[in-house]
Amino acid sequence: MTNMENIFFNPHDLKHCGEHVILGKTVRIRKPERVSIGDHTIIDDFTYVSCGLTVGSYTHIGALTAIIGGNAHVTVGSYVNIAPGGRLVAASHDFLLGGLSGPTIPPEIAEPGIEENVVLEDHVLLGANTTILPGVHLPEGFATGASTLVTPNTKLKPWSVYLGSPAQFYKPRDRDKILDSVSMLSRHKPDPKD
């Protein structure tokens, strides 16, 4: 662990925290015992996590990101970048049912919620203010432009960029160039002072 001073939770309560991890002082993780973070990962200030979370290595989660999901789990792969304001939503409600919903309503009265895991495979890039809804599985190399909405009904191609609300295919990404960069990173010798 690198930077581990936090005002909202004890980082030593995390299920797992790899080497060279940086957590912003104002990151809020409500259930740290359900969170695992890989090596060389940064989670910026004002990120909020209220569900189970597994994060790979060399991943960056930008400021003001919300990762919510109650009892569901969010998996974020390696070499992932989530720009500021991202929303990974693994739990929600069907607002057409007409019942009461929310964490203040006793479970025996509340309408049934939607809890479905969210998965971001390796090399995913999410533009600022992208929203991912319950049950979405983003394939390897998937990317979005700013303010994109990805629903479980969207047909997603790996190594592709999507834009809009709802998300639509825009262009392919250069898979070979990205994987060559990963190969270079694996040969990179870190400065011993870091």
Over residues 36-94, the pLDDT tens digits come to 999 999 999 999 999 999 999 999 999 999 999 989 999 999 999 999 999 999 999 87
In a domain, 102, yes or no: no
- The residue range of the domain holding 162 is 11-92+113-187
In a domain, 158, yes or no: yes
Neighbour count for residue 165 (Cβ, 10 Å): 12
Q: How much is the pTM?
A: 0.91
Tally of domains within the chain: 1
In a domain, 99, yes or no: no
In a domain, 145, yes or no: yes
Strand 73-76 with 118-120, pairing: parallel
Sequence-ordered strand ranges (E) for 56-133: 60-61, 66-68, 73-76, 81-82, 87-89, 91-93, 113-115, 118-120, 125-126, 131-132
Q: What is the pLDDT of residue 179?
A: 93
In a domain, 154, yes or no: yes
- Give the dihedral sign, CA 16/18/20/22: negative
Q: List phi, psi (to 5°) of 186.
A: -65, -25
- CATH code for the domain in which residue 82 is found: 2.160.10.10
In a domain, 100, yes or no: no
Q: What is the pLDDT of residue 193?
A: 58
The DSSP secondary-structure symbol of 184 reads: H
Rounded distance, CA 124 to CA 144, Å? 9
In a domain, 164, yes or no: yes
In a domain, 86, yes or no: yes
